[in-house]
Amino acid sequence: MPHFQIDEHTHLRFAAAEDAPLIVEFVRELAEYERLLDQAQATAEDFRKNVFEEKKAEVVICEYDGKPAGFALFFYNFSTFLGRPGLYIEDLFVKPDFRGKGLGKLLLAFVARLARERNCGRLEWSCLDWNEPSIAFYKSQGARPMSEWTTYRVTGQELAALALK
């Protein structure tokens, strides 16, 4: 698995199956920050199966002084308008103790670099409306909100009912 040494303190690496418990830890910390911990149901086995066996997503882990500091989980989407794939960042998170060191910018730039190397036409993600620090950060990186689009979601019983129609 390739490792990317950024400086004497920081390196990035693609996650491996043995990182599944660490990914769960990151996701739970992110869910707690987003006030959505009650919705964080994913298990290490879910990540082992879906990320590492079935390759439905990819994860990059950022380590600072040898300690897990942050991660980005992303996957392909597709733009029919561009006729090309894009990358969608589902989660980008830096632990509070490691914030202010440029690690979020590093993770975002790394995924952007992958998108360009893979001939993707877009890099997209969602951000909660109330999360002003993240919104300011994303805007400072050149991102713009797509306020003319509304995300719709169907889950649970509604998904089951819709699938039967």
What are the residue numbers of the active site? Answer: 138
What angle (nearest 5°) sits at the alpha carbon of residue 142, between those of residues 138 and 148? 75
**CA 21/CA 41 separation, integer angstroms:** 13
DSSP code of residue 163: H
Residue partners of 137: CB distance under 8 A and separation at least 6: 104, 105
- Cα–Cα dist 48/43, whole Å: 9
At residue 54, the 3 state secondary structure works out as: coil
CB-based contact 92:125 (threshold 8 Å): yes
Match 């649970």 to its residue by tokens: 156
